[in-house]
Chain A
Amino acid sequence: MHFTPLPYLDPGSGSFLVQLAIAALLGLGVAFRASWGKIKGWFGIKSKTDEDDDDSAK
């Protein structure tokens, strides 16, 4: 694993490893929320998590 091109800020070895360590968990969370959204969709409940736009700085 390496950065291409190398970043101009040092991303920090520890900061890099923490992300890799929790990556799988975070990915699962996203997958779960997506499926849950679909399930809710079948019952006609609109999902709030798909924040395409206008969700900044509320």
Chain B
Amino acid sequence: MTTQQNNGQIPASFRDPSGFLFSRGGVLYRQVNRVYSEDYKRLIDSGLYERLVKAGLLIPHTEVDQPPIESDSSFKIIQPERVPFISYPYEWSFGQLKDAALATLSIQKRSLKAGMSLKDASAYNIQFVRGKATLIDTLSFEAYREGQPWVAYKQFCQHFLAPLALMALKDVRLNQLLRVYIDGVPLDLASGLLPARTKFNFGLVTHIHIHAGAQKRYAGEDVRSRRASMSKQSMVGLIESLEATIRKLEWKPAGTEWGNYYDITNYSDSAFEHKKQLVGEWTKKLKPALVWDLGANNGVFSRVAGDSGAFVAAYDIDPAAVEQNYRQVKSAKEENILPLLLDLTNPSPAIGWANRERDSFGARGPADLVLALAVIHHLAISNNVPLPQTAEFFAGTGKWLVIEFVSKSDSQVQKLLASRADIFPSYTREGFEAAYRESFNIREAVEIRESERVLYLMERK
């Protein structure tokens, strides 16, 4: 489960003195500190809270009567609605990061209208709730003071604009820089990596290139004595400029597979339907609350599992598949599917201060049910992971496992073996079952019609 300190305080929320998150009896609370009381009251009394919650932009909360963790500093305890699954920007597709950025700007514009402003613009403050990018930090607001620039401008550019520009204009895989730089992509790095033509784009030249140059030139300089100020109209202009710059950034997945993932598999329609039917039957029987679909592709089987009412984190290594899946979530307004980017052979690590700010992939589990469909050959053959180790890994990620064994005679496996030595003598159905029996009880094993594949339902020992 999520990392927490002895007193229940969540290590991800230590920076902001306005308050912090803590967990008690499995319930998540937020202590609002006295120093933040005026801003909190303004957020509520101005009607901003209600408007943002109504628009699905801010997580709703209730004020509760719980003893505080630190009573000297405490003003109030609130209980935010629980986010079904925490994900991080380096696990999002281009479209998800873009929507998170636009949501942040939309919140800032609405805040300005209510006489408030965001005091931070961290991508980690956004989570996908009911399929929509939602701010989860209720304490991000402060009174707007006319004349002052936006304190979160730098953070916004590092967390959102720089990675989005790099993904759209250089290479979509550059979102992985966020995994290294927890406070967003340094602007001088982004400026150096972006193509030269971006210097002719007003938004990118100002918010990234000139911004990076100014950071270097004026680093550490005391600017407080300068007699300049920024009108509210200019502040609105700044936000609208960021918004227009981001809206223009597009990423369309290249390649012929786009939109036709399942056309390039070796499945017959009947085999595909059989697999869907089995996954559907088993999930309905198990009624899992949380499903992890590992190797979800564009989410066909995630949706079959989701029909049982489960919340499904649909992971895939291919940014195009995750993007396509997310677009489907948006167009169908699906609330229980969360597409995410993940390399199963190198899953998200724990990062940040003392490695405790952002949880690893594994620490956010275990799931009630894990789907591992058409992935075992990629792990065991492409990546040389011995079968017993794959079993151990899956046993650590979930209580139940639906796993597909793809035999060596299958044409997809033959493709993987075409250019390399077959050093996998134990990669057989018998070898697979023996390896998995160490960690699991095999409850069902069904040969998929018209295929060389077997679908298993297993329960962790």
Contact = CB atoms under 8 A, between A and B. Distances in A.
A16 interface: yes
Q: Which of B222, B230, B231 has its CB near the most chain A CB atoms (within 10 A)?
A: B230
A18 B210 contact: yes
A7 B148 CA distance: 11
Interface in B138-187: 145, 147-155, 157
A11 to B, nearest CB: 4
B221 interface: yes
B153 A15 contact: yes
Contacts of A51: 106, 109
Given A14-B215, A30-B233, A56-B102, A20 B151 contact: no
Contact of A1 (B15, B56, B153, B227): B227
Interface in A13-28: 13-28
A13 B55 contact: no
A30 B238 CA distance: 9
Given A20-B226, A26-B241, A15 B236 contact: no
A16 B57 CA distance: 27
Of the four ranges (under 10, 10 to 19, 20 to 34, 35 or more), the interface on chain B belongs to: 35 or more
Nearest to B131: A57
Interface residues of A, number: 36
A31 interface: yes
Contacts, number: 141
Contact of A30 (B18, B215, B220, B236): B236
A13 B57 contact: no
A3 interface: yes
Contacts of A8: 15-18, 119-120
Contacts of B438: none
Q: Which of A3, A11, A24, A55 has its CB near the most chain B CB atoms (within 10 A)?
A: A11
Interface in B47-106: 51, 55-57, 99-100, 102-103, 106
A17 B214 contact: yes
B246 to A, nearest CB: 11
A2 B224 contact: yes
Contacts of A28: 237
B230 to A, nearest CB: 4
Nearest to A57: B99
A33 B244 CA distance: 13
Contacts of B109: 51
B133 A9 contact: no
Contacts of B18: 8
Contacts of A24: 234
Given A12-B154, A20-B228, A56-B57, A3 B233 contact: no
A10 to B, nearest CB: 8
Interface string B198-223: 00000000110011011111111111
Q: Which of A3, A13, A14, A20 has its CB near the most chain B CB atoms (within 10 A)?
A: A14
B226 A1 contact: yes
Nearest to A12: B154
Contact of B103 (A22, A25, A56): A56
A23 B229 CA distance: 8
A18 B223 contact: no
A35 interface: no
A3 B149 CA distance: 9
B241 A17 contact: no
A58 interface: yes
A1 B223 contact: yes
B240 interface: yes
A3 B151 contact: yes
B207 to A, nearest CB: 8
Contacts of A7: 119, 151
Given A1-B226, A23-B234, A18 B16 contact: no
30 contacts: A1-B225, A4-B145, A7-B119, A7-B151, A8-B17, A9-B15, A9-B151, A9-B155, A14-B214, A14-B217, A14-B218, A16-B149, A17-B226, A19-B149, A19-B234, A22-B206, A22-B238, A22-B241, A23-B234, A23-B237, A23-B238, A26-B241, A27-B234, A29-B237, A53-B51, A55-B106, A56-B102, A56-B107, A57-B99, A57-B100
Interface of B: 15-18, 51, 55-57, 99-100, 102-103, 106-107, 109, 119-120, 132-133, 145, 147-155, 157, 206-207, 210-211, 213-231, 233-234, 236-238, 240-241
- 3 A-B pairs with the lowest CB-CB distances in the bound complex, closest first: A26-B237, A14-B215, A14-B214
Interface of A: 1-4, 7-9, 11-31, 33, 51, 53-58
